[in-house]
A and B are shown apart, each in its own frame.
Chain A
Amino acid sequence: MSGTDTDVIDTLVGIAPGSPLDAIRARRPEARTQAQTSYRALFAPVVPGGVTAQERFAVGAFVTGLHGGAAIAAFYAAGLAASGASAALREAVDAAIAEARAQGPYGSYPAGPLSREDTAGPVYRAGANTRRVLGPRVAAAFEHMHLLVFHPRDAAPVGLQALLDAGWSTTDIVTLSQIAAFLSFQIRVVAGLRTLAGRS
């Protein structure tokens, strides 16, 4: 898979060696290296564990697609294609993104003074056709990833139980959660640094 050796954030921001942003990233060398190490741990792991490469990139394509950044979404969609995903699966991921788009963060707080800040928003359930192609396991993952992307404060044990019921193990859920959470970081570093570069 391309991207295991090339720094993904540098590539997606368009940071050239010797540029001002290259110098800025060099001042936080461990953050730069370990962000890339995180990418490799989640998308090209030494030990694949219970989550296949195709599942990792399907989730990656979905999460980045929900954020709407074209370049990073294309990167993970390319990873999904390279993992051997069928055209039907790739179309189902695109369909899921179209079904699931929202604006976050929203959600509810425990009943009390913060309830006045409760903000309603959609709970994603994959459409019948999308679910049929994704299969129940990946469909359950997408439904949980949507919660993590848009309304993480609504999380509850019942959502984790749904993942267990769909066949994910506890360790798999940790990995899926890290994928969505890490991408929430990587997407924002890319977007933020691109904006900064555009103002120099």
Chain B
Amino acid sequence: MLAESLALTAALFIIGVIGVLIHRNAIIIFMCVELMLTAVNLTFVAFSRFYGTAGQVFVVFVMTVSAAEAAVGLAIIISIFRHRQTVDLKNINLLRG
């Protein structure tokens, strides 16, 4: 089942990458990042099944980081929305050179 898990991980991660590239809504882009993090978690769990249980500890850390990232990221989105009245990344180009 290791090969299948890794293939599923790869597919989910790529779907997340494609979502980040094609979407313009900041919230959906954030959800795509969450999907990528979850896909990586599946790798850790699959490897921990076959190569020792320490991988599951890393899943705990990844979950913590993704929770922190969601909290800060959504706070940033809210404060951007407060300034620009939009979360469409097309309109948020203040730092573009």
Q: Do A and B bind each other?
A: no
Chain B residues close to A by CB (< 8 Å):
none
What is the interface of chain A, defined by CB distance below 8 A to chain B? none
